Amino acid sequence: MKEVKQKSILIMEDDQSLLDAIEHQFTMSGFNVFAAKDVEEGLSKIEAVGTVDIIWLDHYLLGKKNGLDFVIRMKNHEEWKNIPIFVVSNSSGSQNIQSYMRLGVTQYYTKADYDLGQIISDINYTLENEVGEENNKDK
């Protein structure tokens, strides 16, 4: 029997009530959940566990730095640059969207337009494909 490694997710979200809902749902889906409200906290959380499988990122965060700053830090990090990032934000403005896409995030969602379940299933889909690729590589 293959051991299914538990997937880990870092959730970067500044609104507490939303963060609670998201954390709850991901835990229910079998994820190991880490949460942070600002860029520095997020980075140190990843540091603490070494790496995470996926990141949920909101654009507006606590403090001066926003989601874009976080992505830049991640993409410049030797070990973490390939961690898929899902930007889930209620801020509009395609300037931001374009910037995120250019930086190489996996997907961008306008939060209010999606059910939480939809986003989670997309995330699972991404991870499965990645894992599949990894498995193929091993062979």
Partner 1 sequence: MMNDKQKEKYVFLLVKHPLYGRVLSWSVLIIFIIFLIISIYAVHDAFGVMITILFTGIALFIITVVFLLLYAFIEKLTKKTQNAEDIIDLLKESKERYALAVSGASEGLWDFNLKTDKAYFSEFWKSLLGYTDEDIIDTVDFWRDNIHKDDKEGVQQSFKNYIEKQTPYYSAEYRIKTKSGTYKWFFDKGRAIWDENNKAVRIAGSSRDISNIKKVEEVLKSKTEELENARQKIENEVNNTRKFKQAVESSSDAISIMTPAGSIIYANPAWEKLSGYSYENVRGGQFADWYEKDTDPDIIKDMWATLKLGKPFTSDDLIGRRKDGTTYQVEISLFPILRNGKRIFYTAIQQDITKRKEIDKAKTEFVSLASHQLRTPLSAVRWYAEMLLSGDAGNLDDKQNKYLSEIYSANKRMIELVGSLLNVSRIDLGTFGINPKETDLRKLFDSTLSELEPLIKERGITIKKEYPEKMPNVFIDPLLIRNVFQNLIGNSIKYTPEGGEVEINLKEEDTFIRFSVSDTGYGIPEYQQDKIFTKLFRADNVREHDTSGTGLGLYIVKAIMEKSGGKIWFESPVKGRENEENKGTIFYGIIPIKAGVQKSGLELVGAQHINNMKE
Judged by CB under 8 A, does residue 98 bind partner 1?
Answer: yes
CB 92 within 8 A of CB 110: yes
CB 117 within 8 A of CB 44: no
Judged by CB under 8 A, does residue 102 bind partner 1?
Answer: no
Phi first, then psi, for residue 90 (nearest 5°) are -90, -5
Figure out which of the listed residues 29, 96, 99, 124 binds partner 1, where binding follows CB under 8 A.
96
Pick between residue 117 and residue 135 the one whose CB is nearest to partner 1.
117
Q: How far is the CB of 47 from partner 1 (least distance, A)?
A: 28
Q: How far apart are CA 82 and CA 84, in angstroms?
A: 6
Phi first, then psi, for residue 54 (nearest 5°) are -155, 155
Judged by CB under 8 A, does residue 124 bind partner 1?
Answer: no
Chain residues binding partner 1 by CB under 8 A are 15, 17-18, 21-22, 24-25, 28, 59-60, 89-98, 101, 107-113, 115-117, 122, 125-126
